[in-house]
Amino acid sequence: MRSSTAEKARDSFSEESYDTNLITGALLWSDMKKLAGLLLSGTTAAELRSLVLQDNFLERKSTKRSLNLLSYLLQRLSLSTSPLLELIANGDSISSRQAAFLCSLQNSRFLREFLFNIVCDKLESFHNHLPPLFWEDFWNACVSKDHALQTLRQKAISELRSVLIKFLVEVEILDSLRSRELKHIRFTPSAAKVLKTAELSWLTPCVRSFVR
């Protein structure tokens, strides 16, 4: 039996493949908010696909891009509990974004390890800036655990870096894409309550700097 949520978080890092499809997009909050509301109302995946095909529901320039995004976000939302979907769909803007962030963490090994090993580690050590070589150190650590990442093209690696930084900007851990000063945000009571549920509490070590 796992003795702590921290151990469960660490175990998940080694049990799950790295999600290189994260380059599809970062928080994608407005899209997740729309989809969460429809899923709560009982809309099926087939019906959502029809909305994309007929009404350009996700408002992308091409149908192919919209369908790829739909598939990606449905996968991201697939493990979400009703309370998490409810907060994404109907919470205030800050709580909703934080809930979408938790949903993303739940589905992304890259994001979990980035928060666990880089962001929270720096905040806990009172070094509130991402160091110049943060990405090289993080990427090399990932490759050492999954040699399949060695085949990834440089463009995709750069896109992964950009997406991870964008996540931090979208939940206000960073002020901008160029900023390297990490901020001690706090989860709202609603987001913290959802985090404490049995299904999500294992993520707490990854966001330990942002919960009281």
Residue-by-residue pLDDT tens, the chain, 212 positions = 334 554 555 455 556 789 999 999 999 999 999 999 999 999 999 999 998 888 888 888 888 888 999 999 999 999 899 999 999 999 999 999 999 999 999 999 999 999 999 999 999 988 889 988 999 999 999 999 999 999 999 999 999 999 999 999 999 999 999 999 999 999 999 999 999 999 999 999 999 999 97
The per-residue pLDDT for 1 is 33
Q: Report if residue 72 sits inside a domain.
A: no
Distances in Å between the Cα of 203 and the Cα atoms of 4, 49, 105, 187, 196 are 11, 31, 8, 13, 9
Asked if 202 and 105 count as a contact pair (C-beta separation under 8 A), the reply is no
Distance CA 145, CA 180 (A): 26
In a domain, 32, yes or no: no
- pLDDT of 44 reads 93
Residue 116, domain member (yes or no): yes
The answer to whether position 68 is within a domain reads no
Distance (Å, whole) CA 21 – CA 163:
11
Distance CA 80, CA 87 (A): 11
In a domain, 148, yes or no: yes
Number of compact structural domains in the chain: 1
- Give the number of residues written for the chain: 212
**Maximal C-alpha separation, the chain:** 51
Task: Tell me which residue range forms the domain holding 197.
Answer: 5-24+81-210
CATH number at residue 125: 1.10.3540.10
Spatial contact of 157 and 24, defined as CB atoms under 8 Å apart: no
- Would 50 be classed as within a structural domain? no
Q: Is residue 63 part of a domain?
A: no
Quick check: pTM over 0.75?
Answer: yes
For the chain, percent helix, then strand, then coil, each to nearest 5? 70, 0, 30
